[in-house]
Amino acid sequence: MNIGPQSMTAQLQALHRGMKARLCAADLDAIRLSDEQLLSTGAGRDILQPGAIAPDFTLHDQGGGQVRLTERLAHGPLVLLFSRGGWCPFCTLQLRAWQSALGELHEAGGDLLAILPQQNALCCTTAERDLLAYPVLSDPGSQVAAQYGVLTEVPKVVRPFYLRLGHELPRINGTDDWRIPLASTVVVGQDGRIALSHADLAAPNRMEPDRALDAVRALSRPGESGQD
């Protein structure tokens, strides 16, 4: 699968380098301290591992319709893409990369659900802006993200930087807090068990679509699902 002249990871890394080159020392320090604080709290360590039962959920998609995990699993394996939100340039790149991979995912017998903490109207805006043909689900209060062990909170040290960029997350998400999911990918088999999962604090470190596609294909061959 090709999403362009570079892999998604290479594109994410290039975006990361470009953003760092434009930031002042104070902002870079705030981001570094934020990452250190998240690392010290063990963010990402609680993500559900292969073999665990995927918690069922029902969320609204960008069109206002209800999407239930177990009903979708009746048609094939699923890739769950937990995204910080449409405001995040790294998440935007990933959402678009998965749109490019969607045809191959369907050919493999799978489907994709993107899960964002932002309000439903903003999920609709994100889907329209990025021409996403898969469900973009609103997760109010990040309750589903919490069930999957990928919920975290933006440290206070970096919130002024977010606000200067217009990323007022309580307003965007319709909450009174700064909780968001880590960018995470979870592959779920039709038996309702997790086959593959990945979460990482570093913005460029996300599971390549090819790896998730391989997991979806392997689900029809016993013993070939795996752990990150």
**Active-site amino acid positions:** 91
Beta bridge partners of 60: 66, 138
Q: Map tokens 């997350």 to a residue.
A: 169
8-22 and 89-107 are packed helices; what angle lies between their axes, rounded to 10 degrees?
Answer: 170
Number of neighbouring beta carbons within 10 Å of residue 132: 20
For the beta sheet containing 184-188, the strands, ordered from the edge strand earlier in sequence to the opposite edge, are 66-68, 58-60, 136-138, 111-116, 78-82, 184-188, 194-199
Of 122, 69, 129, nearest to 93 by C-alpha is 129
